[in-house]
Structure 1
């Protein structure tokens, strides 16, 4: 019998038959190429993040290559933004949120994806590195698809169960 979602101590437990139980309370996102294109997060993605934030804590880890992070998330006080300098710092910051779900697209996201309870690679318009792709549990075409997987966990179950 599928036991889709259990809320326990603010963690969300997703039981995926013959795969694993995913237990997390935080979703850690990469910004550029994942949440944003050229540093800009579109309106629909922001609306989905607002919905997702009712279920999970949301963290965005970024080097802020385009210098847009503060403007893009102005007024989103419930989203944690952490500016990082390098890949090692990104992994160390992500580990603070263990257990977490990781969503990224680049070489600097590989360790974050590998160490996540669930790693989701986003191909998006900026592409996805092969290393990030191979380090993920699921690959999607667009960030909206990734967020919608978490908003409707039955999609995760359909994709990952054996």
Structure 2
């Protein structure tokens, strides 16, 4: 577990890190350079899950050997599937990382949400639901790996 005390907001006990795949931690079906190392480090403190409809059919091969739980679901109900998985994992201890419209519902459930504006862009409506907005999945992971960055951004 990763414990982060955010002045003025309380203690966040991170047990789960849930990541959208395409557009968030992957571009065109391939993990963004630097993701593997950070996921390995995060997995020392929390369970990492990758949620996707797997548009490119690459998630299992790309995540092979990584300490992650890959969950592939039907494209038609992605938003509800993601939110349901976050609740199942324990939303109070969950950090969600995403970029798309279908991430809005899981952001609403999670204790902390981080929107990524990468090469694929990000859904404008998602940005209004996020606790933090970054320009790279690496920045999202680094906020958790270097909690003082997160404290500085979110302090009350």
Name the structure 2 match of 1:83. Answer: 72
Would you say 1:96 and 2:88 are equivalent positions?
yes
Whole-angstrom distance in 1 between the partners of 2:69 and 2:42: 13
Specify every segment of 5 or more residues in structure 2 that has no aligned partner in the other structure, as ranges.
none
- Of 4, 9, 27, the residue aligned with 1:37 is 27
How many Å apart are 1:136 and its aligned residue?
Answer: 0.6
Specify every segment of 5 or more residues in structure 1 that has no aligned partner in the other structure, as ranges.
1-10
Report Cα offsets for 1:75-95 as digits up to 9, x if no partner.
Answer: 22x210000122211211121
SS in 2 for 1:96: helix
Moved more, 32-41 or 13-22: 13-22
Whole-angstrom distance in 2 between the partners of 1:132 and 1:20: 24
| Moved beyond 4 Å, runs of 4+ | none
Name the structure 1 match of 2:101. Answer: 107
How many Å apart are 1:145 and its aligned residue?
Answer: 0.3
- How many residues align structurally? 151
Whole-angstrom distance in 2 between the partners of 1:43 and 1:133: 24
Report Cα offsets for 1:102-138 as digits up to 9, x if no partner.
Answer: 0001000001112111100000110110121111100
Structure 1 or 2: larger helix share?
Answer: 2
Whole-angstrom distance in 2 between the partners of 1:124 and 1:90: 20
Name the structure 1 match of 2:143. Answer: 149
- Of 52, 66, 73, the residue aligned with 2:42 is 52
Cα RMSD of the aligned pairs, angstroms, is 1.1
Whole-angstrom distance in 2 between the partners of 1:146 and 1:34: 10
Whole-angstrom distance in 1 between the partners of 2:122 and 2:10: 25
Whole-angstrom distance in 2 between the partners of 1:138 and 1:90: 19
- For normalisation by structure 2, the TM-score amounts to 0.92
